[in-house]
Structure 1
Amino acid sequence: MVLVAGALRHGADVLRGRTSAAIAAAMTKGRVAWLATGLAIALLPASARAEAPPPQTAASKQQIEKLVETWRQYYHKADSLRDRRQAFEDLMESTPEPTRVQIRSVDAGGVDAQLIWPARLHHPLGRRAILYVHGGGFYSGSLRTHRAIAGALAKAASADVLLIDYRLAPDNPYPNQIDDTLTAYRWLLDSGYENDNIVLVGESVGGNLAIEATLRQMRVRGPLPAAVVAMSPLTDLAATGASLMANASTDPLIDAAQLDLIRKAYLGTRSPADPMVSPLYGDMTGFPPLLMQVGSGEALLDDTLRLADTARKAGVDVETEIWPGMIHQWQLFPFWIDDARKSNQRIADYAIKHFADKPQP
């Protein structure tokens, strides 16, 4: 199912029966006009219906413009990986810490992590868990940069959130990041969480890692999570999506040069089209339910749409939300952006829907 914010001049009936690849092609040709106004829903399959993302408001647009300005203030001189890593830390250091949560540092099978749960409880729930895998190009990001979104999801989903501090490139290239993600997932299983009460969530490259860790778990026939959520995931390290160029003027964070830095730091000599690093080229048959969110103007828009098409053809229960006017990683800023709070709530609702053990009202 693809949930698209935007206007369809030919009516929603035109979309029924079309593949998401066809939708992606249409969007690439006329994305700005197509997505700028109104609301439309493309249903794949038509029997599955859900609420689409809300249209962008004037206030939301102003909030995003302010965030873009803030990003550029921190990143305008950050050319090297080390400088970009520090810029991300400095930016997120200026953001509020999560409130009304409790935080405990844990060793998740050798992976540094923090367990975060709603403050109204004296101890972690020990039943429902979200494994959060942060973004940051495989070379940046930390417990500090992502505590706010982890705390927001813990409260909204009434779940324990395990936020992991996986090893970073270039000192620790592939496959260390996937190894750490899978180690943390198995630690949750060993700690008493049932697999049908665990949801993997990640944004940007964290979405890539959440998907790739699940695919690896499938290959060894291990217990799979109840669902996976990927926000603006990087699914094609070969960078063949048309939106990479088509949305270059609307995405302040991701471009071809940035992806080249990521590839060199993370992959070394490994092919970027290897399905072990780019899930777009993998076999998704048997994958758990998958939710993906992406902004309409993101360079990685096609990474989401094409993976959704691949997953759907493999029989995966997949939902895709395209949020109008949102930029890469907008979900990290629920304290500044209305649509970040809304999108985080939708992620929490999706997790609750797939948890075997539902929160008490």
Structure 2
Amino acid sequence: MIRSKTSLAAKSLLAWLRLTNRKRTYAELDRFRRSIESSQAKGDRGPIRSIRRRFDVQRSEVDGRPCYTIRPPGGGDGKRVLYFHGGAYVHQIQHDHWRFFGRLIDRTGCAVTVPIYPLAPEHQCPETTAFVRRAYDVFSAGAGPEEQIVMGDSAGAGIALALTKALRDEGSPVPKETVLLSPWLDLTMTHPAQPALDRRDPYLALTGLNEAARLYSGRLPRTDPRLSPLSGDLSGLGALSVYIGTKDVLLSDARRLRTLCTEQGVPLSYHEYEGMIHAWMLASIPEARLALEEIAHLVDRSLVKTV
């Protein structure tokens, strides 16, 4: 499905990004490295005040790292979303993520669990992947795969798909739904379309993404499926859904996933929004509200039991 109409609010957001030159954070290496230091210096602050005020927030730990489960008052209806936040594997979770979770809970009555996974450069892919697997085991305990929705944006979407593929490969049940928002699925960053996409993208840039990929991959080749889950067999992964915008340097990843799914006969719910930037579904614009309704449908259609 391709959405072609761009709202005035979205055009204003694009204009603001260009006016303030937000792309410099990813386009200039020194600035990108400073952004990593600044983001990680803030540490874990947990959900923002408005989320704590309106919802039931429970903090737990996996391997000594915080994980937050957010439920509607009264506990919700049993649907569970395990969400991995974006940030190029180097940036902390942002306020927009928490606001998105609040809107999703309001719309669906689900519970959202957010593991705060370890970030590069201090932590690299093998450690992060192992933590993600243990977090999944902890938060899926007592629930069948038909009750599980795994979701993420950007780097978190790459984590989500890598997790689902790992579960399949080891013969474990996979989640009913895997939902990928502006996914970063190939850390090699070698697709020939990406330089042209870089010029259109007002936010991300190949310079910063390649640095983040270097920091996160460490000694692993970037083709490792834990880093680049786009390649290989895509069958047996449950329901897959992708949301992407055309002004996102990662558009080529999403389109390649669509092509591979078609070639392999794998069903994919594909949603491409004309003129949208990276992770636009977290913003306060009409297109984000439309995407939320579609994402909520994916959560609602999961089979649930009352808990």
Alignment of 1:206-225 (within 5 A): 206-225=156-175
Partner deviation per Cα, 1:292-339 (whole Å, 9 max, x = no partner): 011111111010010122133333221111112111122222xx3222
Partner deviation per Cα, 1:20-71 (whole Å, 9 max, x = no partner): xxxxxxxxxxxxxxxxxxxxxxxxxxxxxxxxxxx21223311343355567
Distance apart, 1:87 and its partner CA: 5.4
Larger radius of gyration: 1
The alignment status of 1:4 with 2:6, answered yes or no, reads no
Partner residue in 2 for 1:176 = 127
Is the Cα contact below 8 Å between 2:58 and 2:68 reproduced in 1? Answer: yes
Separation of aligned partners in 2, 1:149 and 1:179: 26
Distance apart, 1:84 and its partner CA: 3.6
Distance apart, 1:358 and its partner CA: 7.7
Separation of aligned partners in 2, 1:88 and 1:321: 32
Partner residue in 1 for 2:209 = 259
Q: What secondary structure sits across from 1:228 in the alignment?
A: strand
Question: TM-score, structure 2 length as denominator?
Answer: 0.87
Separation of aligned partners in 1, 2:291 and 2:41: 23
Separation of aligned partners in 1, 2:210 and 2:296: 33
Separation of aligned partners in 2, 1:64 and 1:75: 16
Change (3 A) 1:174 1:208: same
Could you tell me which of 102, 120, 139 is aligned with 2:56? 102
Partner residue in 1 for 2:72 = 118
Could you tell me which of 225, 240, 260 is aligned with 2:190? 240
Distance apart, 1:147 and its partner CA: 1.6
The alignment status of 1:357 with 2:304, answered yes or no, reads yes
Partner residue in 2 for 1:197 = 147
Unaligned runs of 5+ in 2: none
Separation of aligned partners in 2, 1:288 and 1:213: 12
Is the Cα contact below 8 Å between 1:75 and 1:87 reproduced in 2? Answer: no
Separation of aligned partners in 2, 1:357 and 1:63: 37
Change (3 A) 1:59 1:96: farther
Separation of aligned partners in 2, 1:310 and 1:74: 33
Partner residue in 2 for 1:348 = 296
Q: What secondary structure sits across from 1:273 in the alignment?
A: coil
Distance apart, 1:247 and its partner CA: 1.8
The alignment status of 1:283 with 2:230, answered yes or no, reads no
Letter in 2 for 1:81: R
Could you tell me which of 148, 168, 171 is aligned with 2:99? 148
Distance apart, 1:343 and its partner CA: 1.3
Separation of aligned partners in 2, 1:197 and 1:251: 36
Unaligned runs of 5+ in 1: 7-54
Partner deviation per Cα, 1:72-109 (whole Å, 9 max, x = no partner): 2994986243524525998xx9x984463221212246
Change (3 A) 1:213 1:165: same
Separation of aligned partners in 2, 1:342 and 1:89: 35
Distance apart, 1:240 and its partner CA: 2.2
Q: What secondary structure sits across from 1:153 in the alignment?
A: helix
Change (3 A) 1:272 1:318: same
Distance apart, 1:145 and its partner CA: 5.8
Residue-pair matches, total: 299
**Runs of 4+ in structure 1 over 6 Å off:** none
Is the Cα contact below 8 Å between 2:202 and 2:247 reproduced in 1? Answer: no
Separation of aligned partners in 1, 2:271 and 2:140: 29
Separation of aligned partners in 1, 2:193 and 2:107: 32
Could you tell me which of 153, 157, 161 is aligned with 2:108? 157
Partner deviation per Cα, 1:239-295 (whole Å, 9 max, x = no partner): 122332112222123222112211211111321122232112222121111110111
Letter in 1 for 2:91: S
Partner residue in 2 for 1:314 = 264
Letter in 2 for 1:162: T
Partner deviation per Cα, 1:114-150 (whole Å, 9 max, x = no partner): 111123x2x354x210001001011112375622222
Separation of aligned partners in 2, 1:165 and 1:221: 26
Separation of aligned partners in 2, 1:328 and 1:242: 19
Change (3 A) 1:244 1:168: same
Question: TM-score, structure 1 length as denominator?
Answer: 0.75
Separation of aligned partners in 2, 1:68 and 1:341: 23
